[in-house]
Amino acid sequence: MESLLKAVNYLHKQNIVHRDLKPENILFNNHDILKLADFGTSKHFNKKMRNVKGTPYYIAPEILNGSYNEKCDLWSLGVIFYILLCGYPPFNGPTNEDILEAVAKGKFSFEHSSFENVSK
């Protein structure tokens, strides 16, 4: 996670927002160096963005509201961290619409038995 945070911090300092951070877009080279991939939805930012971009499990609620900034990437990192801790996403559903509805509500829990062995 520290490497991911550093990579996203670097992007944001260059005024670049990724908008589709997810495990599938995280690569490691032969020396275990993290690399971000798939910049198809990324863009230079200098004002609020309005286009809905991203993958339902990882998309930030403010993107769904149609006015967001580069901090949407931080939401995606939080979702990735949650998945690393327990093995499943915090917002789920049988369809993309259900997932997006759960994301919009923004309610998640650490109370599931999957978190029993995770330190405070």
Q: Are 1 and 56 in contact (CB under 8 A)?
A: no
Q: Is 20 an active-site residue?
A: yes
- The single residue of 20, 32, 38, 73 carrying the catalytic annotation is 20
Strand partners, 35: 27
Q: Are 91 and 60 in contact (CB under 8 A)?
A: no
Q: Are 39 and 18 in contact (CB under 8 A)?
A: yes
Nearest to 5, CA basis, from 75, 77, 103: 77
Helix, strand or coil, per DSSP, at residue 39? coil
Q: Are 21 and 11 in contact (CB under 8 A)?
A: no
> Which residues belong to the active site?
20
